[in-house]
Structure 1
Amino acid sequence: MTDSPFPLVVNALGQLDNPNAPRSAEAAAELNPSSSQLTVDARALADARASGLTAVNITLGYTMGDLPPYEHTLEEIDVWDAIVRANPADLLKVRTAADIHRAARERKIGIVYGFQNAVAVGDDPDRIRVFADRGVRVVQLTYNQANRLGDGSMAPENRGLTPLGHRVVEALNDSRLMVDLSHSGERTCLDAARASRQPVSINHTGCRALVDLPRNKTDEELRLVADRGGFVGIYFMPFLSPTGHATAADVVEHIVHAVDVCGEDAVGIGTDGTITPIDDLDAYRAALAEHVELRRASGVGAAGERADTLPFVEDLRGVDQFRDLARLLEQRGYRSERIEKILGRNFVDYAERVWAPA
């Protein structure tokens, strides 16, 4: 291994933002920050380039809160279209796997449009075609709570995919969009993986066999997704440790377990975080308790979120996070080819299976 970045580094779920900018710092303290509040400034772009990042699946549109889901989602697509247009030397909107390769060649950051909740579909699966035409490429069925498609990971009933959920999965297949099951409940995940005509993904998760928390996936879920040609991304989140204080070593352990269950061709990363690190962690910790309590009171928090847990891995952040992870995997005995797959190639291969025209 060398210190140079790999040809492809793809974050299956992440953020392009400078969290230290005033607007982003204020948004971080709110329950439902809008992507229009994020700060894609010179530092965010420079840090993303320095990290070796090739492409990132960013979250836009409605996830939770009081905004009208469909209208808000269309507005946020407009916001990100404007961000990409304003930064043509740095950003490239991703519609196909070939666009990720193009981003690597042109030394740009590919932006994959994704949802973390499909509430904006309403009761009309035909809206999926509208979103697809606007460039959305990943649709997560639920957030932590239940919606009309199925149950999220924190919904106590653990229902399976609803009839409307089946129709939405079919519409996602028809439009060749990724069906992301990251926040879904166990039964919803299993039902959707079986119902989908195309491979599905769990873009950001951990392994419940290692830490028994609802946001982590069981071996049965991981294996089913992988066996059907799908993709599993491991996050850099507190749920990777029973203490809530996850470390880089915990990330490695969850990757190793996922590879053991799914095989080396199905596993990647979906950090659920930024490249640019938070500079003032003390100030951030002071505001975090209120934010966690707001999430809990509103029913959108997850088991394992506490006032003293950080929503990232403190020793695996900043511009060196991907190189640091590569070195740790190499120390674990992984060869370069396997590490390259985990850092990006597996996601791109999965994208080619789903996004390619029928």
Structure 2
Amino acid sequence: MTDTDTETDTAGAAGRPVIVNALGQLDNPNTPAARAAATQLNPASDQLAVDARALADAHASGLTAVNITLGYTMGDLPPYEHTLAEIAVWDRIIEAHPADLLKVRTTADIHRAHRERRIGVVYGFQNAVAVGEDPGLVDSRVATFADAGVRVVQLTYNQANHLGDGSMAPANRGLTPFGRQVVEALNDHRLMVDLSHSGERTCLDAARHSRQPVSVNHTGCRALADLPRNKTDEELRLVADRDGFVGIYFMPFLNLTGQATAADVVDHIVHAVDVCGEDHVGIGTDGSVTAVDDLDAYRAALAEHVAARRAAGVGAAGERADTYPFVVDLRGVDQFRDLIRLLEKRGYRSGRIEKILGRNFLDYADRVWAA
């Protein structure tokens, strides 16, 4: 595929790029509460440290908006009730920081966040089990989530649920009849169907069944690193062919050694663009802007966390005690600027880089969220 010839300024009309992280975090991982939460399988949102440093770092990075994970992902908590409680927690966080944060319901809100130099917060799930198991309640519960501001719903986490199989489920079932009903309800209420973490057949089935374009907001390319958390070219191509979106993460799964680098991130972006086209690829880092300060202490806690995930059956192939869940040379407040420079070195022009940084996500959101 040849590079775009567009001369659109990467910085956009306001002199700054619109940067949308399709899946990330907005907290300071260095606080005692955050360090304690890092050892838990499903920490509550009220344990997050959305503090002055986290907000300052997000601003300094140039971040415009981020899809954050809230609600039930795993564990013994009641999924529906826990999810509603976490939505309320994030509403309070945003209300406490009106000069810094803006809740995103539409793409206009992301543009507003950019103009006003605030950070747009997109509410998203990484597991759809909060809809429950009663077919008669699916539409009303999806409507409740939509009314509360949820805009992204990932169907599965790594394990199987009653909608379909996650990437680590050995049976690799496709989308279940209940899963099809949930996808239809998400379409009806204009919520993104996110197929990150899904098994291959579930991803392909959902992409074909959905009336709206679907996304894989944080993934890598399996052609470059054959691990279950990454997507095959068939999956990537189908998502793009149906006018969807693929976000590349800054995660260890980009390299079979587990020690992924910034160069690996760029390689996966380039491959995704070659497969999907330049209008369907962006970033979903799956990490925070604020960097971990003490990597040695973090590594000790990480070993405990990885062991707990493995014991609970929710870990993924490629997770190891000696592997940070981020790219060491592409983190902190300069991560997006560093990515821009690396993409420029690969010959990408400003227009294409602008698309990858955020415009492709905005265009995709327009196709799904618009009434």
TM-score between the two structures when normalised by the length of structure 2: 0.95
Deviates more, 1:31-40 or 1:99-108: 31-40
- SS in structure 2 of the partner of residue 305 of structure 1: coil
The answer to whether residue 234 in structure 2 is matched with residue 220 in structure 1 is: yes
- SS in structure 2 of the partner of residue 111 of structure 1: strand
Partner of 1:96: 106
Q: How does 1:33-112 map to 2 (within 5 A)?
A: 33-112=43-122
The answer to whether residue 32 in structure 2 is matched with residue 19 in structure 1 is: no
Letter in 2 for 1:352: D
Give distance in 2, aligned partners of 1:3 and 1:230: 24
Q: 1:32 aligns with which of 42, 53, 56?
A: 42
Task: Assess if the C-alpha contact under 8 Å between 1:48 and 1:109 holds in 2.
Answer: yes
Letter in 2 for 1:79: V
The answer to whether residue 151 in structure 2 is matched with residue 137 in structure 1 is: yes
Question: Gapped runs of 5+ residues in structure 2?
Answer: 1-8
The answer to whether residue 288 in structure 2 is matched with residue 274 in structure 1 is: yes
Partner of 1:125: 138
Give distance in 2, aligned partners of 1:322 and 1:351: 21
Task: Assess if the C-alpha contact under 8 Å between 1:3 and 1:323 holds in 2.
Answer: no
- SS in structure 1 of the partner of residue 28 of structure 2: coil
Give distance in 1, aligned partners of 2:148 and 2:40: 27
The answer to whether residue 123 in structure 2 is matched with residue 113 in structure 1 is: yes
Q: 1:152 aligns with which of 152, 166, 172?
A: 166
- 1:6 is displaced (CA, Å) by 3.6
Letter in 2 for 1:75: A
Question: Gapped runs of 5+ residues in structure 1?
Answer: none
Letter in 2 for 1:13: L
Give distance in 2, aligned partners of 1:254 and 1:47: 26
Letter in 1 for 2:138: P
Give distance in 1, aligned partners of 2:121 and 2:157: 21
Letter in 2 for 1:81: D
Partner of 1:301: 315
Task: Assess if the C-alpha contact under 8 Å between 2:10 and 2:350 holds in 1.
Answer: no
- 1:94 is displaced (CA, Å) by 0.2
- SS in structure 1 of the partner of residue 82 of structure 2: helix
- 1:7 is displaced (CA, Å) by 2.7
Partner of 2:4: none
Task: Assess if the C-alpha contact under 8 Å between 1:13 and 1:58 holds in 2.
Answer: yes
- SS in structure 1 of the partner of residue 86 of structure 2: helix
CA RMSD of aligned residues (A): 1.2
Give distance in 2, aligned partners of 1:237 and 1:215: 10
Letter in 1 for 2:92: A
Task: Assess if the C-alpha contact under 8 Å between 2:17 and 2:357 holds in 1.
Answer: no
Letter in 2 for 1:351: A
Give distance in 2, aligned partners of 1:247 and 1:6: 26
Task: Assess if the C-alpha contact under 8 Å between 2:10 and 2:351 holds in 1.
Answer: no
Partner of 2:177: 163
- SS in structure 1 of the partner of residue 138 of structure 2: coil
Identity of aligned residues (%): 82
Task: Assess if the C-alpha contact under 8 Å between 2:38 and 2:301 holds in 1.
Answer: no
Letter in 1 for 2:58: A
Partner of 2:6: none
Give distance in 2, aligned partners of 1:301 and 1:325: 28
Task: Assess if the C-alpha contact under 8 Å between 1:31 and 1:291 holds in 2.
Answer: yes
- 1:3 is displaced (CA, Å) by 9.6
Task: Assess if the C-alpha contact under 8 Å between 2:10 and 2:354 holds in 1.
Answer: no
Q: 2:274 aligns with which of 260, 273, 295?
A: 260
Task: Assess if the C-alpha contact under 8 Å between 1:214 and 1:303 holds in 2.
Answer: yes
Partner of 2:204: 190
Q: 2:221 aligns with which of 200, 207, 216?
A: 207
Partner of 2:360: 346
- SS in structure 1 of the partner of residue 170 of structure 2: coil
TM-score between the two structures when normalised by the length of structure 1: 0.98
- 1:288 is displaced (CA, Å) by 1.0
Partner of 1:9: 19
Task: Assess if the C-alpha contact under 8 Å between 2:248 and 2:269 holds in 1.
Answer: yes
Give distance in 2, aligned partners of 1:3 and 1:290: 42
Aligned residues: 357
Task: Assess if the C-alpha contact under 8 Å between 2:11 and 2:18 holds in 1.
Answer: no
- SS in structure 1 of the partner of residue 105 of structure 2: coil
Give distance in 2, aligned partners of 1:21 and 1:99: 30
Give distance in 2, aligned partners of 1:118 and 1:23: 27
Q: 1:313 aligns with which of 318, 324, 327?
A: 327
Give distance in 2, aligned partners of 1:25 and 1:120: 27
Letter in 1 for 2:77: L
Task: Assess if the C-alpha contact under 8 Å between 2:71 and 2:125 holds in 1.
Answer: yes
Task: Assess if the C-alpha contact under 8 Å between 1:6 and 1:340 holds in 2.
Answer: no
- SS in structure 2 of the partner of residue 25 of structure 1: helix
Task: Assess if the C-alpha contact under 8 Å between 2:10 and 2:353 holds in 1.
Answer: no
Q: 1:181 aligns with which of 178, 192, 195?
A: 195
- 1:33 is displaced (CA, Å) by 1.1
- 1:233 is displaced (CA, Å) by 0.0
